[in-house]
Amino acid sequence: MSSNGSAEEAKIPLLDYASTKEIIQGGRRDEDEIKIQDKVWIESKKLWRVAGPAVFSRIASFSMFVITQAFAGHLGDLELAAISISTNVILGFDVGLMLGMASALETLCGQAFGAKDYRMLGIYLQRSFIVLFIVSLLLLPVFFLASPLLKLLGQPADVAELCGTVSMCLIPLHFSFVFQFPLQRFLQSQLKNIVIAWVSLGTLILHVLLTWLIIYKFQLGIIGTALSMNIPWVIIAIALFIYISCGGCPQTWNGFSIEAFSGLWEFLKLSASSGVMLCLENWYYRILIVMTGNLENAKIAVDALSICMSINGWELMIPLAFFAATGVRVSNELGAGNGKGAKFATIVAVTTSTMIGLMFWLLIMIFHNELALIFTSSEEVLAAVNKLSILLAFTILLNSVQPILSGVAVGSGWQSYVAYINLGCYYLIGLPLGIAMGWIFDQGVMGIWAGMIFGGTFIQTLILAFITIRCDWEKEAEKAVVHVKQRSGR
Position 76 pLDDT exceeds 50: yes
Q: C-alpha distances in angstroms, 145 versus 155, 160, 169, 184, 336?
A: 14, 10, 13, 30, 47
Domain ranges of the chain: 1-34, 35-488
Percent of the chain exceeding pLDDT 70 equals 91
pLDDT band, residue 16 (cuts 50/70/90)? very low
Contact 50, 193 (CB under 8 A): yes
- Mean per-residue pLDDT for 285-310? 76
The mean predicted confidence, pLDDT, of the chain is 85
Contact 224, 213 (CB under 8 A): no
Q: C-alpha distances in angstroms, 344 versus 47, 402, 466, 478, 482?
A: 11, 17, 16, 17, 22
How far is 138 from 284, CA to CA, in rounded Å?
21
Compute φ and ψ for 472, nearest 5 degrees. Answer: -90, 95
How far is 199 from 115, CA to CA, in rounded Å?
29
Per DSSP (E only), the strands in 76-135 are none
Chain centroid offset of residue 144 CA: 25
Position 84 pLDDT exceeds 90: no
Q: What single letter denotes the amino acid at residue 287?
A: I
pLDDT band, residue 27 (cuts 50/70/90)? very low
What does the pLDDT look like over 359-377, one tens digit per residue? 999 999 998 888 788 777 7
Q: Is the dihedral of CA 204, 103, 464, 454 positive or negative?
A: positive
What does the pLDDT look like over 53-74, one tens digit per residue? 988 888 888 888 878 877 777 6
- Mean per-residue pLDDT for 295-321? 81
According to the model, what pLDDT value does residue 17 have? 43
Q: C-alpha distances in angstroms, 284 versus 60, 291, 402?
A: 23, 11, 14
More confident residue, 387 or 89: 387
According to the model, what pLDDT value does residue 32 have? 53
Count of C-beta atoms within a 10 Å radius of residue 139: 16
Percent of the chain exceeding pLDDT 90 equals 45
- Mean per-residue pLDDT for 181-188? 94
